[in-house]
Chains A and B, each alone.
Chain A
C-alpha cells in the first residue's frame, strides 16, 4: 500500500513541471492561436538560468530569476518574430517557432557548453518524509504544492483580474475583444510573458531532479503537446488533469512496461482524440486560420519544362562528368527530394500539416534494415518492403489524423514520430538502440557509387513524377477540394476523411521508399532518422522549394542539402538554419519556386 502511495506521489510531482509548461503553452495558444514549438526551449532556458544563478546566489533566488528570464525571452520572441505571423497560415507560424528552437538551442550551446549540468539540491528540501513507511522526497511534496498553487493562481487570475477576463474573452471570442476596444498587441505581449515564465518556472524547478541538457527542449515539448491535446487546447484545468493522467500512467506504467512509457501516453492521446477530438475540456476551434494558403499550384510553364528537362539530363550525365563526392551528394539530394515530395503532396495539395514526416522516412529505413538483417531479405525485397511498412504506419497515424486539421494535426504527427523515435532508442533488442543497425549494404549489382546513384535516380524520378501526375489530375483536384473547403467538398459527396487518409498514405509511401534507399546508401540506420530534426529538414525543404510549386521539393531538397553540406562545418550552423527558416516564414512564404514563377510571369508580362 505504502509503495503505491509513494509511486502515486512521485507521479504527481512529475506532473507539476509538465503542467507548468503545458499551461503556458495552452494559455498562449488560447489568446494568440499560435502553437509555440519554442515553448520547450523556454523551459530549457529556465533550467539553464536556474543552474547558473543557483551556483552564485542559491537555488531559491534562482527560481524566480529563471521564470522572469524565460518570460523576458518569450516577450522578445513575440516582439521579434511571432507578431509578424499572427495573420499567416498556421504552417508558417509553426515553422517559424521551430526556427526559434534551433536558434535557442545553439545559443544555449554557446553560453553553457555541450556537457550535461548537474544542479544543486533545493536547500531545506533535500530530505525525505516517511509516509506509510515509504520515504517520499520533501522536494516532491513541494513540487506537488507548487503545481496546485499555480493551478489556483491561474484560476484566480482568470476569475478575478481584468487581465484574466480579457484572456478568457480572447480565448472565447476574438472579434468581440477588438470590438470592446482592447489593444490585442498588449494583451499578446503580456500573455507571452506569462506563458513563457510558467515554462521557465517549470524548467527551474526540475533542476534539483534531473540534469540540465540541450535536449530538454524537444523532450518536454513533445510531452507538453500530448498533455495539451489531451486536456484541450486553451484549457488550463484540462492541462492539469492531462498532466496528472500522463504522469501517473508513467509512474505506474513504468512498473509494468518499463520501456514504452511514451507509447502509453500516445495511446491515451489517441483514445481521447477518438472520443473527444478537441481534448477533455477543449472546444472546437472557432475562427481558425487556414492551415496553408489556399492557392493554386503554380503551372510548370515553358521555362519550367525546359529547366526540368535540363535538370534531368544533368542528373543523368553527372556520374560521367562529376567527382565521386558530387555523385554521393546528389544521391542524398535525390533521396531527400523523394522524401520531401511526399510531404509536399500531403501539405501543398492536401493542406495537411505534418511535423512528423520522419516517422515515415524512419519506418522505411528501419523496415528495410530489419527485413534485410533479421529476415535476410535481398536488397530488392527490402526496398520493396520499405514503402509498404511506411504505408501501414501512415495508414494507422492517418486514421487519427484525418479527424484533425491544422495545429492539431501537426501535434499529432509530431507525437506519432516521437513515439517511433523512442521505440528506436528504447527497443534495443529490435533496433539496437542508439547503436543502430549496421552493415546494410546494397545488392552486388548496384554496389558502386554510380550504380546506386542511378538506382536512386530512377526510383525517385518515377515516384516524384507519379505524385506530380496525381496532384495535377483528378485525385489532386478532389484533394484540393477538401483543403479549400471541407464542408463544400462533403456536400458534393466527397468523402473528405478517406481522401485525406489516402494522401497521408501516399506521402508515407514516398518517404518510406526514400528511407529504404537512405539505409542502403549509408549502410546503417540510427534513431536520428526518426527524430524531430529529420521532420524539420523535410518541412524546410518543402517550404524552401515552394509549397505550391510543382518542382518545389526537388529545388528545396537540392538547395537545402547543398547548403547543409557547406554550412554544417560551421560551429553554429543550426542557429543559421533557424534564422533562415524564420526569414522564409516571414518574408518569402512562396519559397524559391514561388519566386521563380513570379519572376518568369513578370518577365513574360513585360515582353507582351
Chain B
C-alpha cells in the first residue's frame, strides 16, 4: 500500500487549550478513512491543519513524499490535496457548469472535461442551472465535482452528509466511494452519521480531547472499550 498522506505528531494549541495533541496517522492510496469523535474532540482543527487553514505548532504533514506542513491552502491543492467544506462552498453567482469550469481552469485542465465530471457526480444535464437554484444535496455534488477537478491524490470531506436527508446521505457517500476507487484517491472524512462512517470507511480514526485514541477497522473500533467509554458515553463498557 502506497502511503499518500502522513500526519506526524501534529500539535496545535489555542492559548492554553491543546486542540490537537500529538496526532499521527497515515492514509493509503484509494483508502477511505473516517475521522470521528465527540464535539470538541479536535476533528475540525485537525482538518484545518491538513487543509492549510491553520498551521500546526509542531509536527509534519507529508503529502505523497512532499512536506506540506507550512504551505498555504492553494499551494497544497497544487500538491494534490482537495477538500469540501461542512457547509457546501460553491461560487454562488455562477451556473453549475461555470463552477466546474472554474475549478478545471484553476487546476490547469481543459474546460471540456466539465461534462464528464458532472456525469461522474450525477449532475449530467444540470450544467446550465444557476447553482443557487439546486437542492442542497446537488450543491454538495457540485462541490465534490469541483474538488475532484484537479484529480487530487487526497480528498478531505468535512461532514459530507451534513444537511441531507436519509437516502441522499447514502447516495453521496456511494458517489464519493466510487470515485475514490476509480481514481485511486484517498478519502478522509469527518462525519456524525454513524451509518455513513461504519458503512463506508475502510478504517476509522477516533479522537477525544485532542488525542487520537483509536485507529482501526470498523469491527475493531466497534469492539474498542476506550472508544465506547469516551465516545458512546458508556461508563460500564
Q: Is B91 an interface residue (CB 8 A)?
A: yes
Which stretch, A80-88, A310-318, A490-498, A519-527, touches the partner chain B? A490-498
Best-buried of B51, B83, B93 by chain A (most CB within 10 Å):
B93
Q: Is B89 an interface residue (CB 8 A)?
A: yes
CB pair A491–B82 under 8 Å, yes or no, is yes
Complex Cα spacing A495 to B143, Å: 19
CB pair B74–A490 under 8 Å, yes or no, is yes
CB pair B93–A493 under 8 Å, yes or no, is no
CB pair A493–B107 under 8 Å, yes or no, is yes
CB pair B92–A492 under 8 Å, yes or no, is no
Least CB distance, B102 to chain A, in whole angstroms: 5
Chain A residue numbers with a CB within 8 Å of B147 are 491-492
Considering the complex, give the chain A residue whose CB is closest to the CB of B99: A481
Q: Is A149 an interface residue (CB 8 A)?
A: no
CB pair A477–B53 under 8 Å, yes or no, is no
Complex Cα spacing A341 to B41, Å: 50
Chain B residue numbers with a CB within 8 Å of A474 are 105
Q: Given B51, B73, B78, B106, which contacts A478 in the complex, CB threshold below 8 Å?
A: B106
Q: Is B149 an interface residue (CB 8 A)?
A: yes
Q: Is B98 an interface residue (CB 8 A)?
A: yes
Chain A residue numbers with a CB within 8 Å of B102 are 477-478, 480-481, 492
* Given the contacts A474-B105, A493-B74, A488 and B85 also touching, CB distance less than 8 Å: yes
CB pair B93–A296 under 8 Å, yes or no, is yes
Complex Cα spacing A295 to B92, Å: 7
* Given the contacts A490-B77, A493-B78, A493-B107, A480 and B94 also touching, CB distance less than 8 Å: yes
Least CB distance, A475 to chain B, in whole angstroms: 10
B48-89: contact bitstring with A at CB < 8 Å (1 yes, 0 no)? 000111000000000000000000111101100011010001
Complex Cα spacing A485 to B93, Å: 10
CB pair B90–A492 under 8 Å, yes or no, is no
CB pair A494–B106 under 8 Å, yes or no, is yes
Considering the complex, give the chain A residue whose CB is closest to the CB of B111: A474
B90-116: contact bitstring with A at CB < 8 Å (1 yes, 0 no)? 111110001001110111000000000
Q: Is A206 an interface residue (CB 8 A)?
A: no
Complex Cα spacing A493 to B53, Å: 13
Q: Is A470 an interface residue (CB 8 A)?
A: no
CB pair B74–A495 under 8 Å, yes or no, is yes
Q: Is B197 an interface residue (CB 8 A)?
A: no
Q: Is B33 an interface residue (CB 8 A)?
A: no
Considering the complex, give the chain B residue whose CB is closest to the CB of A296: B93
Chain B residue numbers with a CB within 8 Å of A77 are none
Best-buried of A296, A478, A483, A490 by chain B (most CB within 10 Å):
A490
Q: Given A295, A492, A495, A496, which contacts B93 in the complex, CB threshold below 8 Å?
A: A295
Q: Is B204 an interface residue (CB 8 A)?
A: no
Considering the complex, give the chain B residue whose CB is closest to the CB of A488: B89
CB pair A477–B101 under 8 Å, yes or no, is yes
Q: Is A484 an interface residue (CB 8 A)?
A: yes
CB pair A478–B53 under 8 Å, yes or no, is no
Q: Is B205 an interface residue (CB 8 A)?
A: no
Complex Cα spacing A485 to B146, Å: 13
CB pair A487–B74 under 8 Å, yes or no, is no
Considering the complex, give the chain A residue whose CB is closest to the CB of B95: A296
Q: Is A294 an interface residue (CB 8 A)?
A: yes
Chain B residue numbers with a CB within 8 Å of A477 are 94, 98, 101-102, 105
Complex Cα spacing A478 to B73, Å: 16
CB pair A492–B103 under 8 Å, yes or no, is yes
CB pair A480–B85 under 8 Å, yes or no, is no
CB pair B92–A491 under 8 Å, yes or no, is no
Considering the complex, give the chain A residue whose CB is closest to the CB of B146: A492
Q: Is B150 an interface residue (CB 8 A)?
A: yes
Complex Cα spacing A308 to B150, Å: 39
CB pair A496–B106 under 8 Å, yes or no, is no
A495-511: contact bitstring with B at CB < 8 Å (1 yes, 0 no)? 11000000000000000
Complex Cα spacing A490 to B106, Å: 10
Complex Cα spacing A478 to B53, Å: 20
CB pair B106–A485 under 8 Å, yes or no, is no
Chain B residue numbers with a CB within 8 Å of A494 are 74, 106
CB pair B90–A493 under 8 Å, yes or no, is no
Complex Cα spacing A543 to B51, Å: 38
Q: Given B78, B90, B105, which contacts A488 in the complex, CB threshold below 8 Å?
A: B90
Chain A residue numbers with a CB within 8 Å of B74 are 489-496
CB pair A492–B94 under 8 Å, yes or no, is no
CB pair B77–A485 under 8 Å, yes or no, is no
Chain A residue numbers with a CB within 8 Å of B83 are 491
Chain B residue numbers with a CB within 8 Å of A296 are 93-94, 130
Chain B residue numbers with a CB within 8 Å of A483 are 93
CB pair A485–B107 under 8 Å, yes or no, is no
Q: Given B89, B93, B150, which contacts A487 in the complex, CB threshold below 8 Å?
A: B89
Least CB distance, B35 to chain A, in whole angstroms: 18
Best-buried of B51, B106, B107 by chain A (most CB within 10 Å):
B106
CB pair B146–A487 under 8 Å, yes or no, is no
CB pair A492–B98 under 8 Å, yes or no, is no
CB pair B89–A490 under 8 Å, yes or no, is no
Complex Cα spacing A493 to B150, Å: 9
Least CB distance, B116 to chain A, in whole angstroms: 18
CB pair A294–B92 under 8 Å, yes or no, is yes
A229-270: contact bitstring with B at CB < 8 Å (1 yes, 0 no)? 000000000000000000000000000000000000000000
Best-buried of B52, B78, B92, B146 by chain A (most CB within 10 Å):
B92
Least CB distance, A594 to chain B, in whole angstroms: 14
CB pair A491–B91 under 8 Å, yes or no, is no
CB pair B105–A487 under 8 Å, yes or no, is no
* Given the contacts A491-B51, A492-B106, A494-B106, A484 and B93 also touching, CB distance less than 8 Å: yes
Chain A residue numbers with a CB within 8 Å of B85 are 487-488, 491
Complex Cα spacing A373 to B73, Å: 48
Chain B residue numbers with a CB within 8 Å of A294 are 92-93
Complex Cα spacing A496 to B85, Å: 18
CB pair A485–B89 under 8 Å, yes or no, is yes
Chain B residue numbers with a CB within 8 Å of A485 are 89-92
Complex Cα spacing A494 to B90, Å: 14
Least CB distance, B38 to chain A, in whole angstroms: 23
CB pair B150–A492 under 8 Å, yes or no, is yes
CB pair A493–B91 under 8 Å, yes or no, is no
Least CB distance, B88 to chain A, in whole angstroms: 9
Least CB distance, B118 to chain A, in whole angstroms: 16
9 contacts between A and B (CB under 8 A): A478-B105, A480-B91, A480-B94, A483-B93, A488-B143, A490-B73, A492-B103, A493-B77, A495-B74
List 8 A-B pairs, minimum CB-CB distance, nearest first. A493-B77, A488-B89, A484-B91, A490-B73, A492-B106, A296-B93, A294-B92, A490-B74
Further pairs besides A296-B94, A491-B74, A494-B106: 16, Cβ < 8 Å: A296-B130, A474-B105, A477-B94, A477-B101, A478-B105, A480-B91, A480-B93, A480-B94, A481-B91, A481-B102, A485-B91, A488-B90, A490-B74, A491-B89, A493-B74, A493-B77
